[in-house]
Amino acid sequence: MKKLRTAIRVESLKAVRSKIFPITIGFFSFITAILGLMMLILKDPELARNTGLVGAKAQLIGEADWSSYFTFLALALAIGGLVGYGFIATWLFGREFSDDTAKDLLALPVSRSIIILAKFIVMFFWTILLFLIVVGVGLIAGNIVAIEGWSRPLFYKFFKQLAVSSIMAMASSTPVAFFASYSRGYLLPMGYVVFTVAFSQIAVVLGHGAYIPWAIPALYSGAAGVEQAHLGALSFLIVFITAIIGILITVLWWRYADHS
C-alpha cells in the first residue's frame, strides 16, 4: 500500500507539472463556458442576433433552462469525456515512450503493476477534477446568464447524472492505455478513440448502443432521448468489464511484453 501511495504521488507530480494538465482544464472550462453562451443565445435570440453572436438566419432549438443546460453538460462529459479522457490516457502512458522514460520504470523495487495501477488512479482523479470543473464553471456560467428553472433537487439529480456519465466515460477509456503502451506512442490510441466515438454513433443509430461500452455514457447522459437514458444493469456491467479488461491487459502487457 505504501508503494502504491508513493507511485501515485510520483505519477501525480508528473501529471501536474506537464503542459497537458492546464490544457485539459482550460479545454473543459472553455467547452462549458461555450455551452453557457448557448444558453444565453437560447434565452434571448434577438439579442444574440443583434450582437452578432449568431447569424441572422440561424435556427436554435431548445429551452434556456437549467434542465437543458445540465443535459448539454452531461452530453459534453459523455462524448467529450470519451475523447478527452482517452487523450489523458494516451498521454499518461504514451509519454513514457515519447520521452523515452519507460525503460526507467522497468527495473525498480516498485513493481510495474503498481506503477501502472498508480497511472490509472491518477487518470481517475484527473477526470474527477475535470468533472468538478465542468460542474463549477457550469454553475458560474449558468448564474451569469441567469438561466431559469433552478432547483436544488434538479441540481442533485443532474449532478449524479453528470458524475455517472463522466465516470463511465473514464471507465470505457481504460483500453486506450493498452493501445498507447502496445504501440509505444500516441497515434494508435488516438485512432482507437476516434474509432470508438464513430462506432458508438453507428451503434446508437442501429439501436444497439446499450451494449456498446463507448456508447453507454452518451446514452445515459440523455443524448439519444429520455427513453434510451434508462439503461439496464447489463449496460453498467459492460462498462465495468471494459474498464477491468483495459486495466488488466495494460498491466499484463507491461509485465510480460518485451521492452526492446
Partner 1 sequence: MTSVIRTENLSKNYGWLKAVDGVSLTVEKGEIYGFVGVNGAGKSTTIRLLLGMLTPDKGAAYLFGKKVSPDKKDLWKKVGYVVEGASAYPDLTVDENLQVVCSLRQISDKKAIDRIIAKLKLDPYRRKKAGKLSTGNLQRLGLAKALIHKQELLILDEPTNGLDPVGIVEIRNFLMELAEKGITIFISSHILSEISKMAKRIGIIHEGRLIQELDKVQLEKLRKRRLLVNSRRPAEAKRILVQSGLRVLENEEGNLEVEDESATGNPEKIAVKLVESGSPPTLLKVEEEDLESYFLRLIGISGGDTE
The phi, psi pair for 176, rounded to 5°, reads -55, -40
Convert 122-188 into a string of H (helix), E (strand) and C (coil).
HHHHHHHHHHHHHHHHHHHHHHHHCCECCCHHHHHHHHHHHHHHHHHHHHCCHHHHHHHHHHCCCHH
Question: Min. distance of Cβ 91 from partner 1 in angstroms?
Answer: 11
Closest CB to partner 1 among 123 and 141? 123
Binding region for partner 1 (CB under 8 A): 3, 6-7, 9-10, 13-14, 17-19, 99-101, 103-112, 115, 255-256, 258-260
Q: Which is nearer to partner 1, 237 or 252 (CB)?
A: 252
Q: What is the grid cell recorded at 109?
A: 523495487
Phi/psi zone of residue 161: left (φ > 0), alpha (ψ -120 to 50 degrees), beta?
alpha
User: Which residue number, 180 or 219, has a Cβ lying nearer to partner 1?
Assistant: 180
CB of 87 to partner 1, least distance (A): 17
Shortest CB 104 distance to partner 1, Å: 7
Task: Specify the residue, 41 or 251, whose C-beta has the smaller distance to partner 1.
Answer: 251
Q: Are 32 and 137 in contact (CB under 8 A)?
A: yes
Q: Give the nearest distance from C-beta 108 to partner 1 in angstroms.
A: 5
C-alpha cell at 62: 431548445
- Closer to partner 1 at the Cβ: 99 or 148? 99
Least Å distance, CB 196 to partner 1, is: 28
